[in-house]
Amino acid sequence: MTLLQELECRLAAALTAVLGAPAQAVVTPTADLRFGDYQSNAAMVLAKQRKVNPRALAQEIIDHLDLTDMALAEIAGPGFLNFRILPSAYAARAAALIRDERLGVPASGAGRTVVVDFSAPNVAKPMHVGHIRSTIIGDSLARVARFLGFKVIADNHIGDWGTQFGMILVGWKTLLNPAALETDPIAELVRVYRDINAASQGDAALLESCKAELVKLQAGDAENLAIWRQCIELSKRGLQKIYARLDVTFDHWLGESYYNDRLAGLVDEFLARGIARLSNGAVCIFSAGGKPPDDDPFMVHKEEGWTDNPALIRKADGGFLYATTDLATIQFRIDEWHADHVWYVVGVPQQLHFRQLFEAAARWGKTGDFRHIGFGSILGDDRKLMKTRSGDNVQLADVLAEAVERAAAVIAEKNPGLPAAEAASIAEIVGIGAVKFAELSQNRLTDYVFSWDRMLALHGDTAPYLQNSYVRIRSIFRKLDAPFDAAACQLLLTQPEETHLARLLVRFGEVVPTIVEDFRPNLLANYLLELARAFHSFYEACPVLKSAEPLRASRLALCELTARTLQQGLHLLGIKVPDKM
């Protein structure tokens, strides 16, 4: 049980005693330590219901509250209950964490299955910085969910069956450079696609042949299918390299094409059950009514007022759409994988698609906890969408390469004596970590400005700062001449800096579960920064190796617990730690 949960239990017992009926209690961490560590507004809520004086009721609750060995309570303002945790309680809890592999994080997801749908780039198109957000946020959420005990299925729902294949097929047959395909398949496929796309502007005949190739592919033409398969393989190979560099893994790669043979039957079922109907030859899902229009994803407000905003699941020419595939995908994930939750980590512009999708699925009887986890854009220095100097989308692979290059320069300046191979592997860890942390420390919904200098600073709110904190702690242990056994020592919190560090260490188990409440890895990122700062204040105020026993062992144990928590926390963000920097 976390400290917060234990406080809630004890408070609930007191409320139950005061009310003479079973009661629950909510406790939250205070925003400001001057008001103690935790607080509850239970007395105020209850006093309002019972029309009594809140401060008097708060006193009555305190009189029934058993906080032995745990905390002191006081009444503040209009009737807040503030709790100050005793240093001895922090010491006892932190000591227990030393023996706990999970560092106090509860297995709150046990018994539930979650599908995390993230990254999902489109084949033969490069992954750009927009995909970076999905990949990094999605991977972190999958890691956190796994650590919380969920059964996690990471699924890369790649766009491998789009209309882009008409152009790619024509390009493959007329423009392909086999040598270029060999060295950089994604780049060559993209080039071919781009060239045909450009050439087809205003060339009706070319556009027609693209369409014809697409129709042949969809009808199962052997030659086109073979080319298509090769495109997918080549693209996957290119993507794998990027994922390897990012240390991102998937359990499945079930792309859009996987669902092809389920689509026709799905549309028939929607028609037969009246969930969809024909409209101008197309099959559409319309509003089912019963909701205010501003809350109905199948209605839209235009100049003339509220009008229908249907979701198309079959075009008049018989083609299927993104929504059709996503409905089939939901069915598969529920029936085959028994998913309780599906988390879609996809940019905000697709919000309407997901609102319609979730409602259509519910009408179809596919129930589960489906969430669209949206995010904003990445902006360049000019605060406009990030582009290269020539105006192209920035490619993820280039971002990663530049991050590592810049990290190498930072490392070379900080520690010029490192052997080249070691410096290179540290630069890789620091560079990739910096990019990830810059992403994950932001509120995912806000646009953020991409800045190399800011994300690589050794003394900012950055991954290198956290990695460096970890390395500093490790270097303390390298100075010892005998192995240190943290589990064998007693924790003594004698200085406020020690207590504060223990307080934060104990809070790790409370922070991690909150990440998946609203899908905010930035809560963990900010916690880790706070922890590192608390460590540095502690290290300045409290001599470690030079203090006498038993304080020396106690402080070493705090150091070790801090290092483990930093390492585990960064791991949940998908960020590695080096041994040296």
Closest to 442 measured CA to CA, from 380, 381, 526, 516: 526
Nearest to ligand ARG of 140, 329 (CB atom) = 329
At its nearest, how many Å lie between ligand ARG and the CB of residue 331?
13
Cite the beta strand spans of 286-418 per DSSP E: 299-302, 305-308, 311-314, 341-345, 369-373, 378-379
At its nearest, how many Å lie between ligand ARG and the CB of residue 322?
7
Nearest to ligand ARG of 108, 163 (CB atom) = 163
Which residue stretch of 119-127, 398-406, 477-485, 555-563 sits at the interface with ligand ARG (rule: CB under 6 A)?
119-127
CA distances from 119 to 4, 114, 123, 140 (A): 35, 16, 12, 12
Which residue stretch of 21-29, 115-123, 245-253, 383-391 sits at the interface with ligand ARG (rule: CB under 6 A)?
115-123
Closest to 124 measured CA to CA, from 155, 167, 183: 167
Nearest to ligand ARG of 246, 486 (CB atom) = 246
Closest to 47 measured CA to CA, from 83, 10, 75: 75
Q: How many residues does the chain have?
A: 581
CA distances from 486 to 76, 455, 504, 532 (A): 39, 34, 18, 20
- Asked whether position 120 contacts ligand ARG by CB under 6 A, the answer is yes
At its nearest, how many Å lie between ligand ARG and the CB of residue 215?
22
At its nearest, how many Å lie between ligand ARG and the CB of residue 387?
18
Nearest to ligand ARG of 320, 539 (CB atom) = 320
Nearest to ligand ARG of 39, 324 (CB atom) = 324
Nearest to ligand ARG of 25, 323 (CB atom) = 323
Choosing from 60, 188, 213, 326, the residue that interacts with ligand ARG (CB under 6 A) is: 326
At its nearest, how many Å lie between ligand ARG and the CB of residue 501?
42
Touching ligand ARG, residues 203-222 (CB under 6 A)? none
Which residue stretch of 113-121, 204-212, 485-493, 562-570 sits at the interface with ligand ARG (rule: CB under 6 A)?
113-121
**45 CB burial (10 A radius; 0-12, 13-18, 19+):** middle
- Asked whether position 157 contacts ligand ARG by CB under 6 A, the answer is yes
At its nearest, how many Å lie between ligand ARG and the CB of residue 226?
23
Touching ligand ARG, residues 456-515 (CB under 6 A)? none
Interatomic CA distance for residues 172 and 170, integer angstroms: 5
Choosing from 3, 115, 346, 386, the residue that interacts with ligand ARG (CB under 6 A) is: 346
Sequence-ordered alpha helix ranges (H) in 148-246: 164-174, 178-183, 185-200, 204-218, 222-246
Nearest to ligand ARG of 374, 578 (CB atom) = 374
CA distances from 60 to 11, 18, 48, 66, 86 (A): 12, 7, 15, 12, 22
**187 CB burial (10 A radius; 0-12, 13-18, 19+):** middle
- Asked whether position 193 contacts ligand ARG by CB under 6 A, the answer is no
- Asked whether position 117 contacts ligand ARG by CB under 6 A, the answer is yes
Nearest to ligand ARG of 120, 313 (CB atom) = 120
Residue 449's beta-bridge partner residues?
379
**Which residue type is seen at 370?**
F
Nearest to ligand ARG of 93, 157 (CB atom) = 157
Residues in the interface with ligand ARG (CB under 6 A) total 10
- Asked whether position 232 contacts ligand ARG by CB under 6 A, the answer is no
At its nearest, how many Å lie between ligand ARG and the CB of residue 573?
22
Tokens linked to 514 = 């909150």
At its nearest, how many Å lie between ligand ARG and the CB of residue 360?
13
Are the CB atoms for 577 and 248 separated by under 8 Å?
no
Nearest to ligand ARG of 188, 326 (CB atom) = 326
Closest to 505 measured CA to CA, from 554, 437, 464, 440: 554
- Give the list of residues 6+ apart from residue 500 with CB closer than 8 angstroms, or none: 534, 537, 538
Which residue stretch of 5-13, 114-122, 176-184, 422-430 sits at the interface with ligand ARG (rule: CB under 6 A)?
114-122
- Asked whether position 333 contacts ligand ARG by CB under 6 A, the answer is no
Nearest to ligand ARG of 25, 158 (CB atom) = 158
Nearest to ligand ARG of 122, 260 (CB atom) = 122
Nearest to ligand ARG of 161, 508 (CB atom) = 161
Which residue stretch of 64-72, 116-124, 143-151, 188-196 sits at the interface with ligand ARG (rule: CB under 6 A)?
116-124
At its nearest, how many Å lie between ligand ARG and the CB of residue 129?
13
Q: Is the dihedral of CA 407, 410, 415, 417 positive or negative?
A: positive
- Asked whether position 344 contacts ligand ARG by CB under 6 A, the answer is yes
- Asked whether position 376 contacts ligand ARG by CB under 6 A, the answer is no
For 188, list phi and psi in degrees, rounded to 5.
Answer: -70, -40
At its nearest, how many Å lie between ligand ARG and the CB of residue 258?
11
- Asked whether position 159 contacts ligand ARG by CB under 6 A, the answer is yes
Are the CB atoms for 85 and 30 separated by under 8 Å?
no
Touching ligand ARG, residues 425-454 (CB under 6 A)? none
- Give the list of residues 6+ apart from residue 140 with CB closer than 8 angstroms, or none: 436, 440, 521, 572, 573, 574
Interatomic CA distance for residues 126 and 187, integer angstroms: 7
Interatomic CA distance for residues 574 and 137, integer angstroms: 9
Interatomic CA distance for residues 356 and 275, integer angstroms: 12
Helix (H, G, I), strand (E, B) or coil at 42: helix
- Asked whether position 122 contacts ligand ARG by CB under 6 A, the answer is yes
Nearest to ligand ARG of 84, 353 (CB atom) = 353
Beta carbons within 10 angstroms of residue 534's beta carbon: 20
Residue 151's beta-bridge partner residues?
113
The site string for ligand ARG over 239-258 (x = CB under 6 A, - otherwise) reads: --------------------
Report the interface residues with ligand ARG, using CB under 6 A: 117, 120-122, 157, 159, 326, 329, 344, 346
